[in-house]
A and B are shown apart, each in its own frame.
Chain A
Amino acid sequence: MSACRGRAARIVMLAMGMVLLLGTVAAQPQEGGAQEQQVKAAYLYKFGGYVEWPGEAFKEPDSPIVIGIAGDSAMAQEVERIVGNRTVNGRGVEIREIRPDEDIGSPHILFVGRSQLSRIGGLAAHPQPILIVTDAANALKQGSIINFVTTGNRVRFEVSLDAARRNTLRIAAPLLAVAMKVQ
């Protein structure tokens, strides 16, 4: 009986300890984070290694891969930082921030931030060999090729093969294997 009461007392103490602890740590302020963006930026760079563009997409055999970023200057900076002097399949990487009033031009990879999402409709109507990447729900339906999805604590992505075909891009199997969803 006393052993039983002892156990009960221990559970109560443990529970009380936890409540106290919560009180103290939970009082601290929260802040938003940046790392999700770092992971997305790394993906943007990595995708280049798994996509085959038609020959005419590059002027010279050693022309750089151009990553365009529209509607998210923080992302542009992050990609710039993460890429540094790295190369993709021997090509240099050029990062271009595209202002809302600027033409998209013909980057090889284009990240479209949520504020500029309406622009992908136009891109889908006039297909060019551009890998369109977004991070908005339902973006694949609007014509995006790769869309980031943050589930749990991880950044994953979904791929639209039809959209890739439309833009005459070939996506390598390892990228598809990692994708959360391929449609």
Chain B
Amino acid sequence: MRQRLPAFAVAFLVSRSLLAAEAGPSLADLSLEELGQVEVTSVSKRRERILDAPASIYVISHDEIRRSGATSLAQALRLAPNLQVAQVNASQYAITARGFNNSNNLGNKLLVLIDGRTVYSPIYSGVFWDQQDVLLEDVDRIEVISGPGGTLWGANAVNGVINVITRSAKQTQGGYATLGGGDAEYGGAFRYGAQLGETGAIRLYAKASDLDNTERADGAALADGWTMSQAGFRADWGHATRGFTLQGDMYEGRGHDRDVGGPVRANGANLLARWNEQFGSGADLQVQAYFDRSQREDPVGFQGDADTWDLEFQNGIPLGRHKILWGGGYREARDRIAATLPPSVFSFDPQSRTLSWENVFAQDEFSLTETLRLTLGIKLESNDYTGWEKLPSARLAWNPTDTQLFWGAASRAIRAPARLDRDFRWNLIGAFPAPFDNIPLIGGGPDFVSEVAEVYELGYRAQPSARLTWSVTAFYHDFDRLRSGQAPQVFQLIPAYIQNMMEGEVSGVEAWAAFQVTDNWRLGGGIVELRKELRLKPGSTDPDGPPALGNDPEHQWMLRSSMNPAPRVEFDVVVRGASRLPQPLVPAYTTVDARLGWRASQALELFVAGYNLFDPSHPEFGAAPGRSEIPRSVYAGLTWRM
């Protein structure tokens, strides 16, 4: 169901089945690119435009990804003006929306889905970005929603949802190969797509990359390089009214050799099946099941694996002025997490656990008048730690004209406890005298419950002319029961437990615009202003306080220029800036990336890209002196399409 969710995100947010009769004429006001994105549903006659979505949504298009020169999913996410993306080292990224950024994404509140498969870990609430990749050439679009999406996506979609949507196998026919290298990485990929019987199509792909180690500011080399290989397939049968998809991937990653311990190794595989059907009544149904296995072995850190099964369905029913969407799902994840070696033992108790989640949701999009739509919805989701949680939301959308949208939303979102919050143990040999060695110094909180956010948003989006679109969103998140720690009381043999003793408000503004200056030149840009007012609740003995909940810039901006200076030439420049991160201090930085592409023939494209062009290196995340400096680098290569 999730792969359709984007469409549904847009549908629930957007669909205007009532206006279907008038929808025809204004198709003429869409750009060519937008026309290519219109979902043609032969039955519902529903028009779906990003412009009409009452949420802070930015869609990274296939072309934007291609022209950016991004070589991994995490890099491509830099294109979304409503995300904060900081490169931690050669292979790791800290990515979030609306703050709470943390390296390794510990405690992140961002849900990430690849073709409907969640890659957010139930073990520690985060994403290992070095393990999650796709063949970017086959990505249709990445929908980035900043703000809560719990009513559709469930717990953990507190600050945002990222939906990576790959193209149908029918849209990726023929051959594709790319090869590139530079002073920070090299890699290659290929894909082949073919027909499969009368109505089917399949593609196979493989990609491999090697990222070089980075250095610290003092010039000392770090062992953070990463080698990754991945392969997969996707097969699609049928058509818009009845379709079936089967897809899978497998990957293996290996860190570079380190002085201490062996290299980090990771691997995983997944298989997903999805069936969707549209009925003459305008109703639609989607059923999806997947299995995902991921494993990570860090000899001096996290060593664990998780097997996840997931089954979901959803059903959309138009009923006069109402559009009902309802569904449910069940997920089960079994993990095994090994303890690290003494004397500093990180472990989980129990070492192996099976968690399950169930959910049901329903929402109604109701057209109050021709121009005013109200969407009310609620999701009930259960988890093994806190039972059933309620995730309601209300959204109001007003289109005073066909090219303007005012919207407002109120939502309740939660981050449900992860294994880390409840089951974590840190035993430091010698911290407590024998025979009390088995008492952890830090322990998961037996009383840890879900973090809660009440979120209020106001937005305006417009397309005043065919050449200009812009969007602005103001948000206010009222957080309660945020994760906090305690100071251990060593002499009384009392561990420090993970608690819910922080609260506070996060507010800000996100805005972006795109302007087609001439037919051959497009400008885009965005800013994020973020203010966090977090505090410990009375009675907490947390020694760190709010800095433990992420390190975020107050200002962030980007400007992008996409130009075709000559018929077969593409020239792109991206300038990004972030103000300083407060604690640990990371100085403000501005980076300039550029890419030049030349289509030498129909099939062959040559490109050269430079990253961080005007700066030998800078850190983007982490504490000095151990952190990585992100160096200036170049990458060149060729792409062949048949």
List chain A positions with a Cβ less than 8 A from chain B: 7, 10-11, 14-15, 17-18, 21-22, 25-26, 28-36, 38-39, 41-43, 45-46, 50, 78, 81-84, 86, 150-156, 172-175, 177-178, 180, 182-183
Contacts and interface: CB of A to CB of B under 8 A. Distances in A.
A7 B356 CA distance: 8
Given A11-B311, A155-B40, A175-B32, A84 B279 contact: no
Contact of A25 (B33, B42, B279, B519): B279
A43 B36 CA distance: 9
Contact of A152 (B31, B45, B167): B167
B283 interface: yes
Given A30-B278, A86-B28, 20 more contacts: A10-B330, A14-B311, A18-B287, A18-B313, A22-B277, A33-B45, A34-B45, A35-B42, A42-B28, A50-B32, A81-B25, A83-B28, A84-B25, A152-B170, A153-B39, A156-B36, A173-B519, A173-B564, A174-B32, A178-B36
A28 B283 contact: yes
B45 A35 contact: yes
A92 B567 CA distance: 29
A42 B30 contact: yes
B42 A178 contact: no
Main secondary structure of the interface of A (DSSP, over half): helix
Nearest to A18: B313
Interface residues of B, number: 49
A26 B40 contact: no
A33 B40 contact: yes
Contacts of A32: 42
Contacts of B41: 33, 35, 153
B277 to A, nearest CB: 7
B63 A28 contact: no
Contacts of A172: 519-520
User: 3 nearest interchain CB pairs?
Assistant: A33-B42, A42-B27, A152-B168
A78 B31 CA distance: 18
Contacts of B369: none
B602 A183 contact: yes
Contacts of B542: none
B24 interface: yes
Contacts of B170: 151-152
A28 B27 contact: no
A183 B641 CA distance: 12
A11 B311 CA distance: 9
Nearest to A161: B602
B593 interface: no
Contacts of A25: 277, 279, 281, 283, 285, 315
Interface string B10-52: 0000000000000111011011110111111111010000000
B6 interface: no
B27 A82 contact: yes
Interface string B170-193: 110000000000000000000000
29 contacts: A10-B358, A11-B330, A14-B328, A14-B330, A21-B315, A25-B279, A25-B283, A25-B315, A28-B280, A30-B279, A33-B42, A34-B42, A38-B24, A39-B38, A45-B28, A46-B28, A81-B24, A82-B28, A152-B167, A152-B170, A152-B240, A154-B36, A154-B38, A155-B36, A173-B564, A177-B63, A178-B33, A178-B36, A180-B171
Contacts of A31: 42-43, 280
Contacts of B285: 21-22, 25
A18 B311 CA distance: 11
B42 A36 contact: yes
Nearest to A14: B330
A32 B41 CA distance: 10
B144 to A, nearest CB: 20
Interface string B226-243: 000000000010001100
Nearest to A30: B280
Nearest to B358: A10
Contacts of A15: 311
A33 B43 contact: yes
Contacts of B520: 172-174
B315 A42 contact: no
Max chain A C-beta neighbours (<10 A), residue from B23, B25, B45, B63: B25
Nearest to A17: B328
Contacts of A42: 27-28, 30, 35
Interface in B310-333: 311, 313, 315, 328, 330, 332
B28 A155 contact: no
A34 B63 CA distance: 29
Given A35-B42, A154-B40, A26 B277 contact: yes
A108 B168 CA distance: 34
Nearest to A41: B27
Nearest to B236: A152
Contacts of A174: 32, 516, 519-520
Contacts of B171: 151-152, 156, 180
Interface centre among A21, A29, A42 (most CB of B within 10 A): A42
A83 to B, nearest CB: 7
A30 B38 CA distance: 21
A18 B287 CA distance: 8
Nearest to B201: A151
B25 A82 contact: yes
Contacts of A41: 27
Nearest to B599: A182
Contacts of B30: 42, 46
A153 B40 contact: yes
Contact of A30 (B33, B167, B241): B241
A133 to B, nearest CB: 13
B519 A151 contact: no
Contacts of A7: 332, 356
A157 B50 CA distance: 21
A173 B567 contact: yes
A28 B330 CA distance: 27
Contacts of B283: 25, 28
A177 B570 CA distance: 10
A46 B43 contact: no
Contact of B35 (A14, A155, A173): A155
A111 B32 CA distance: 17
B28 A150 contact: no
A183 B174 CA distance: 14
A30 B283 CA distance: 10
